[in-house]
Amino acid sequence: MNMHSILNPELAFCNVPGGSKKRLLETSAELIAEKVDQVNANQIYEALIAREQLGSTGLGNGIAIPHCRIPRLKETIGCLIKLESPVDFDAVDKQPVDLLFFLLVPENTLAGHLEALRTLAEHFTNPVFCANLRAAQTDIELFEAATAFMQDKREAG
């Protein structure tokens, strides 16, 4: 998976207010909908809530990868968010979350969706990757930290 294919600079948000899991999902849906013409905030929020009801997407170590299927979406969309302060996200390790990668996929996509989730989970288990994201102070720094790490890994691999 190429991060540039699903994440663009307009969908990296640094120091987003959290509050609660529900409020964070609402805020994130609004941020994504402002940048993506194909979807609206309510549609994203409802899909994210439905997915979270199946089980938390909080992976542990302050990381969550909320994901959902969106009808009529033409391509997979990613959104990277660093919170200004951690939020309880019902993660498996019971630790609050401060880094989230939202993944919205077309309704009928399966293989690409699973590959993207696997790749994201791999990256987020790397402490250097997470430290670089947490060190970012601006939206563009956050985007560059994510994509630079993935580029370096691809070149080394």
**Active-site amino acid positions:** 67
Whether the Cβ atoms of residue 149 and residue 12 lie closer than 8 Å to each other? no
d(CA 100, CA 84): 12
**Residues forming a β-bridge with 77:** 104
Pairing relation of β-strands 58-60 and 67-70?
unpaired
At residue 145, what are phi and psi to the nearest 5 degrees? -65, -40
- For residue 144, count other CB atoms closer than 10 A to its CB: 16
Distances from the Cα of 8 to the Cαs of 29, 145, 150, in angstroms?
16, 12, 14
* Cα distance between residue 23 and residue 16, in whole Å: 11
